Chain A
């Protein structure tokens, strides 16, 4: 292989208490491939998806995307954030704990009704007030604040190192086995939400409707409509997502996932519940997605879809990988046949 794999699942084990959902699973997805993961129900396929997308963290093993494990890295930004929070928390805590004493010394003591307030003098009273309160209360509260603030910020960073939004930002998008659309939002809005990570307008830009908002608004609407056209949903752009029929909901989920311009698209049983016509349309859609340069990782039960559209297949059973290869190879692999159809009873 001259090209580096896009996604590497490296000896991933998923353990939930006593239950081992995936055991030592490894496979690699090349860029531009359609790679399918198949296996009987309960084989651990969706769990694997969840491990890849950051919903779960692997109990052991690694998931590498473009050669690196996707997670927030120790960078100057972290130090700034932790440090900044610590300082802010220290000052706030110190002010809060000694609020009454400070208020009395700075404001009440210096303010005489009717006369102008001397700010310089008042601010000068902060120092003496603090030393009067005593080092224990000033430095003590400041330290507690710094600990809580800095510690809290750090713990938060640790806990959100590899959450799904981090993975999504890296360029991996997904759909869900049980459709998880934003039901009350319109079709168009669902796609716009999918685009969230690629849009830039900030809270205040939106609040004040600054020019940047209007530029992005027109742009994003146009791109979203384009995506809806790609999956054939543009006519229903303003319908509520939960009012769509099942097949169209699946397509909307795909459009939403594509909105973030991912390099890797994970499809979890996209053909579930579809009739033969819809299935053919779906296969066509997957091919078109691949042709735009997006790599597709697919969980599917529908053998026609799998065999018809995949470049490579990995078979899981009871959480372990039992085979990997081209559709031809898998079709004839005895272990796979046994997994699906059972062993042949002799005599």
Chain B
């Protein structure tokens, strides 16, 4: 059905529903559910968005490869889960399994991100911005193919490596039981709890790092003026490397949570989540970390609401539409400063 007709149909339906007192809950519940789902997904998007915004803030590069980096993190997690047979651990074992996956993926992604910077981006520090962007796209593609090949590993978790391109099921290490009383009509599962309990502390830790540590100050200095920063004795390349490290680690955490939350991964998931995350970063204000978080939550909500009230097949276009509108009408984003182009 026509999108706008669909939307228009939903409104009177909602209004009609709200006038009946006993049925008042009937449109609130789905809405609340969408909000919960949206916020959970939003936090995952926010974690990935922080990776984009940190790198952009410091070297003005859209790190195209970031989303695909997260894909590899998820694939690593799946490999380890399969190799260790984590699914069979159960109970407390399951929880420690999750921790192992989180840490392994974070370390892996951090290292990989740092390596990509060292090998591909560092030699191009003084090259035109578009050269850098094209290289990032190239990296993204290489990583996608690695994920594709990875999916062909002859392991049980990868379905024996037969259909490499097909999405893989991720072991359900976190239960899907509703933690809330049934009377509340809203489902909040252990997965949702996992998302919140991992992302919130990470964001707090990151804020502390950026505001109060020496490295954080150095990062902010390099972001504002690399030349001056290096004249002040800051090793700019090391700071940039650290930024990639941290952004990568966050992406690693995000990838495992994503996998546990959605119970499926595919070699192309990086493209979709990457685009969502990048839109979130731009919406919030590229270069601004609180902006990335706000943007992530908003995009998560938008996706959930679009899936629920519009049609799922238009959701991607809606997100891209937001990206385009933001870039055209308010490029500095919601929380970013209005930058004036100096001639």
Contact = CB atoms under 8 A, between A and B. Distances in A.
B183 interface: no
A97 interface: yes
Interface in B1-57: 2, 4
Interface size class of B (residues with CB under 8 A): under 10
A16 B2 CA distance: 49
A97 B4 contact: yes
A137 B4 CA distance: 9
B328 to A, nearest CB: 11
Nearest to A100: B2
A17, A50, A137: most-surrounded residue (chain B CB, <10 A) = A137
B130 interface: no
Contacts of B340: 16-17
A55 interface: yes
Nearest to B2: A100
Nearest to A99: B2
A140 to B, nearest CB: 9
A33 to B, nearest CB: 27
Nearest to A137: B4
A101 interface: yes
B343 interface: yes
A97 B3 CA distance: 9
A291 B2 CA distance: 70
Contacts of A154: none
Nearest to B343: A55
Interface string A307-323: 00000000000000000
Contact of B343 (A17, A50, A100, A137): A50
Contacts of A17: 340
A242 to B, nearest CB: 15
A56 B343 contact: yes
Contacts of A56: 343
What is the predominant secondary structure among interface residues of chain B facing chain A? Answer: loop
A147 B343 CA distance: 32
Contacts of A97: 4
B101 to A, nearest CB: 46
A17 B2 CA distance: 48
Contacts of B4: 97, 137
A101 B2 contact: yes
A17 B338 CA distance: 12
Contacts, number: 9
A101 B2 CA distance: 9
A50 B2 CA distance: 51
A22 B251 CA distance: 49
A100 B1 CA distance: 9
Interface string A89-121: 000000001001100000000000000000000
A55 B340 CA distance: 14
Nearest to A141: B4
Contacts of B343: 50, 55-56
Nearest to A97: B4
Contacts of A16: 340
B20 to A, nearest CB: 26
Nearest to A101: B2
Interface in A56-85: 56
Interface in A134-176: 137
A100 B6 CA distance: 14
A337 to B, nearest CB: 32
A134 to B, nearest CB: 10
Contacts of B2: 100-101
A101 to B, nearest CB: 7
Interface string B329-343: 000000000001001
Interface string B120-150: 0000000000000000000000000000000
Nearest to A46: B343
A310 B66 CA distance: 59
B278 to A, nearest CB: 26
Nearest to A55: B343
A344 B295 CA distance: 60
Contacts of A101: 2
Interface in A10-43: 16-17
A72 to B, nearest CB: 21
A46 B343 CA distance: 11
A17 B342 CA distance: 12
A79 to B, nearest CB: 25
B215 to A, nearest CB: 31
B275 to A, nearest CB: 24
Nearest to A56: B343
A184 to B, nearest CB: 13
A17 B4 CA distance: 43
A97 B4 CA distance: 8
Contacts of A50: 343
B343 to A, nearest CB: 6
A158 to B, nearest CB: 16
A97 B8 CA distance: 13
Nearest to B4: A97
B88 to A, nearest CB: 51
B199 to A, nearest CB: 37
Interface string A204-222: 0000000000000000000
B300 to A, nearest CB: 28
Interface string B77-107: 0000000000000000000000000000000
A16 to B, nearest CB: 8
A50 B343 CA distance: 9
Interface string B278-296: 0000000000000000000
Closest 3 CB pairs of A and B: A55-B343, A100-B2, A97-B4
Interface of A: 16-17, 50, 55-56, 97, 100-101, 137
9 contacts: A16-B340, A17-B340, A50-B343, A55-B343, A56-B343, A97-B4, A100-B2, A101-B2, A137-B4
Given A97-B4, A100-B2, 7 more contacts: A16-B340, A17-B340, A50-B343, A55-B343, A56-B343, A101-B2, A137-B4
